[in-house]
Chains A and B, each alone.
Chain A
Amino acid sequence: MKRALFVLVSAVIPASTVAQPAKPDKPAKPADGPVGAPSKAVTDDILDAIAEEMNRAMTQLEIPGAPKPYHIAYKITEVDVNDAAASLGHTTSKRNRHFVNLEARVRVGKPEFDNGNFAVAQAEEIDAVAAINLPLEATPRIARRAAWLVTDSAYKEALMQLRAKIEARRAGGARGVDVPSWTEEKAVVSEEPVLVQPLETLDELEARAKAVSAVFRDQLQVRDSRVAVTSYLERRWYLTTEGTSVTDTRRASGVLIAASGQAADGQALSQYFLRYGHTAKDLPGEDDLKGESKRLMETIGALAKAPVLERYSGPVLFEGEGAVGVIRYSLAPHLGGTPVPEGLNPQEAKTFGGALTDKVGLKVLATNLSIADDPTAKVGAGKALIGGYKIDDEGVAARRVEMIQDGTLKTLLTSRTPSQKGQKSNGHARRTADGGAFHGSATNLFVTGKGGVARAALVQRLTSLARAEGLKYGLIVRRFDDAAITSAPEWSRRELVQMIKTTDQALPPPAILAYRVYPNGKQELVRGAQLAEVPMRAWKDVVGVSKEITTYNFLAAKESQLQLRLTSGADDGFVPSSGIESGVITPDLLLKEIDIVGTSVGERPMPVLAKPIK
């Protein structure tokens, strides 16, 4: 089957802007200047060669006595990344990575029941997906051979997966058999290359990282620090046996400042600043980054002297990045509507969220809140968003989904693996899981609140609420930890083992910037704030929102926070560039009742000698 000749270009729906952008981020700049060239590695010849192999497999690939493939899909990804990292004014590492990856997915059976979304016990790698790298020089012969091998491999895995799924259902582990495995969707064709701005050069990135990291020199309170800068693009092509043939390109630049210190009782303290944009023009300039670095240093110094929070149960104001974090870690995981893979044990199944699965049509949040996810948006509250895409990873066109309106759940984010009969994909297949299926997940998550007030007024409401509850103070959370960024490579094996034993993976990461707020308005920095699991019902008691909106981009990692901590973070200490580009656009949120414990987990012996600075 030749790829179609006509072109479908999906519309870009601008995000709804609400109020004042949060300072000090820069407003999104429209793309200007020359765009880069199309790919030299993945040309029409390459795509035609892969499509020919796909057709051959679809008509001839069969093991006698076993089902044939009924659906084959290819994703070709070309990644080009420039990374630089520096510490104390000197480069610690820099690199360019450029690779092309071909991934094949095969389905056997039929849409009513196929091999998909099933985790084979003790063999989760059998998921009907196989991948191989292609050369950077476009070579159709090699591309076709590569397609031959990965399709064969994925087909054999699909057969093993299907057999295991049939056996598991026979043994009594079956879920409702009325739900099909796979939905029928229209093919999408859009073959014009999407051209983006060229990457910032390694030299430019290196110079920026060095200049900003020098700010941390000779700072007694800082144990370690680094500044990393990235510029990357990711081109994707999708080909399926349904006739889908689409290409899209993602472009992002990012900057990361991370610093750590230690309190007198040994507790490790981490702070970070992370920003992404479409290009470096969307990022803070050098002077602003130096200012952020100074703020991080001052915060670490203040935290080192701050008291540990004692147990708290009461109203909490999640402000700025704090609001982003509570949404990201406590609410977003429940917005997917794809069923948990079959074959997982209950502990593993818990990581999939799913608290809202049976609640469509019901009130799940406070009536002043509405939530939408919009992968077609490039801008949110005036800031660049990196979480957009034209087509999801299953070949379904992206679209804005209004999930929750005035607190009532209308729909969840779905992929082509339905959770009920008649359900269709709404173009949100981005996250993969054991069993090989894509799970509906948020990318550009817009939280809007009615009755927004100025931030200062919301703080006053917090203290009033706290007083009404008989509490001496209220609590503000301004930032959560992110193990993808703050993990230190220097943990000893003993400390890592201790971490595995003491970490409750169901909890959000610790809050690394939190304040007690007293009735007289005084704010006192505290440390060791760890949220308990935020129950879904807590979201019905969002008693205030701000006018100020925070837009925050991040890369959602596949690994859990604990796994990231154990493996020293993401992407070797550079700005994370692997993961799912995501964003949260939200006002500050005042929740009526949240449980927080004060913990000094993370205690390590202090260095014996003083820091060697003049």
Chain B
Amino acid sequence: MGRNPIKGFPKSNGHGRRSPGLPAVARQGNLVVSVERSVPRVDLERMLVEEIKRQKRPYGMIFTDISGGFTNTSAFAPQAFKVNPVMAYRLFPDGKKELVRGVDISGTPLVALQSIRAASREIETFNGVCGAESGWVPVSASAPSLLLEKIEVEKGYVAPDRPPVLNPPSIRKEAP
């Protein structure tokens, strides 16, 4: 909360944030996700394989890195999120992993959060910046790895471009 009260939340809890020139809006600071029960990360992969078999799916997905994402928080449009993975893998029931590309994660927050089934002991921290109505502010998020029972992915945007026509140039002479 910032100093704009809403029904049921009459007080600020010190999260009014902004970049210069813009009015403050309640924003994330250091977001920390903690869990009561956790398992080693390697067990999460094993649990994912069991879940794939239980759901009779051809494969599940593992996401180990993202470039960013966004959420729509306006009242008019669907309040959905989109996350852009950089490193995504298909995990098959036989345990084989295959790197893939061209996939985005999308969904709605409440359904996604309710789909969490397990979390890892290991915590990772992301430091970066977040942009919203009050501009760009530095943020962090610390969370364990998460196993979700269900998540929706969609085809990612592919720019209509070709690779360079010529191969990269070779330089025989190194720079001094």
Tell me if A53 and B171 are in contact (CB < 8 A).
no
Q: Pick from A45, A141, A152: contact of B166, CB below 8 A.
A: A152
Nearest Cβ distance between residue A123 and chain B, in whole angstroms? 12
Q: Which chain A residues lie closer than 8 Å to B164 at the CB level?
A: 148-149, 152
Q: Which chain B residues lie closer than 8 Å to A49 at the CB level?
A: 171
B169 at the interface (CB under 8 A from A): yes
Tell me if B175 and A140 are in contact (CB < 8 A).
yes
Tell me if B173 and A140 are in contact (CB < 8 A).
yes
A56 at the interface (CB under 8 A from B): yes
Tell me if B169 and A53 are in contact (CB < 8 A).
yes
Tell me if A140 and B171 are in contact (CB < 8 A).
yes
Nearest Cβ distance between residue A40 and chain B, in whole angstroms? 12
Q: For the complex, what is the distance from the CA of A156 to the CA of B159, rounded to whole Å? A: 14
B94 at the interface (CB under 8 A from A): no
Q: List which B128-169 residues lie within 8 A (CB) of chain A.
A: 161-162, 164-166, 168-169
Q: Known interface pairs A138-B175, A139-B175. Does A144 touch B169 (Cβ–Cβ under 8 Å)?
A: yes
Q: How large is the interface on A (under 10, 10 to 19, 20 to 34, 35 or more residues)?
A: 20 to 34
Query: What does the 1/0 interface line of A30-48 toward B look like (CB < 8 Å)?
Result: 0000000000000001000
A155 at the interface (CB under 8 A from B): yes
A62 at the interface (CB under 8 A from B): yes
> Among the interface residues B162, B166, B173, B174, which one has the most CB atoms of the partner chain A within 10 A?
B166
A224 at the interface (CB under 8 A from B): no
Q: Pick from B161, B165, B171: contact of A141, CB below 8 A.
A: B171
Q: Known interface pairs A56-B169, A145-B168. Does A45 touch B175 (Cβ–Cβ under 8 Å)?
A: yes
Q: For the complex, what is the distance from the CA of A113 to the CA of B83, rounded to whole Å? A: 46
Nearest Cβ distance between residue B13 and chain A, in whole angstroms? 30
Q: Pick from A61, A62, A148, A156: contact of B168, CB below 8 A.
A: A148
Residue of A nearest to B170 (CB): A144
Tell me if A57 and B166 are in contact (CB < 8 A).
yes
Residue of B nearest to A62 (CB): B165
Q: Which chain A residues lie closer than 8 Å to B161 at the CB level?
A: 156
Tell me if B162 and A156 are in contact (CB < 8 A).
yes
Q: For the complex, what is the distance from the CA of A60 to the CA of B165, rounded to whole Å? A: 9
A52 at the interface (CB under 8 A from B): yes
Query: What does the 1/0 interface line of A50-73 toward B look like (CB < 8 Å)?
Result: 001100110011110000000000
Tell me if A56 and B175 are in contact (CB < 8 A).
no
Q: Which chain A residues lie closer than 8 Å to B168 at the CB level?
A: 145, 148
Q: For the complex, what is the distance from the CA of A61 to the CA of B166, rounded to whole Å? A: 6
Q: Which chain B residues lie closer than 8 Å to A140 at the CB level?
A: 171, 173, 175
Residue of B nearest to A148 (CB): B169
Q: List which A63-113 residues lie within 8 A (CB) of chain B.
A: 63
Tell me if A52 and B173 are in contact (CB < 8 A).
no
Tell me if B162 and A141 are in contact (CB < 8 A).
no
Nearest Cβ distance between residue A520 and chain B, in whole angstroms? 52
Query: What does the 1/0 interface line of A133-168 toward B look like (CB < 8 Å)?
Result: 000001111001101110010011000000000000
Q: Which chain B residues lie closer than 8 Å to A152 at the CB level?
A: 164-166
Query: What does the 1/0 interface line of B79-110 toward A look like (CB < 8 Å)?
Result: 00000000000000000000000000000000
Nearest Cβ distance between residue A67 and chain B, in whole angstroms? 13
Nearest Cβ distance between residue A41 and chain B, in whole angstroms? 13
> A residues near B, CB below 8 A?
45, 49, 52-53, 56-57, 60-63, 138-141, 144-145, 147-149, 152, 155-156
Q: Which 3 A-B pairs have the closest CB atoms?
A: A152-B164, A141-B171, A144-B169
A-B contact pairs, 15 of them (CB 8 A): A45-B175, A60-B166, A61-B166, A63-B165, A138-B175, A139-B175, A140-B173, A141-B174, A141-B175, A148-B164, A148-B168, A149-B164, A152-B165, A155-B165, A156-B161
Given contacts A140-B173, A141-B175, A152-B165, 8 further A-B contacts (CB under 8 A): A53-B169, A56-B166, A56-B169, A140-B175, A141-B174, A144-B169, A149-B164, A152-B166
> B residues near A, CB below 8 A?
161-162, 164-166, 168-169, 171, 173-175
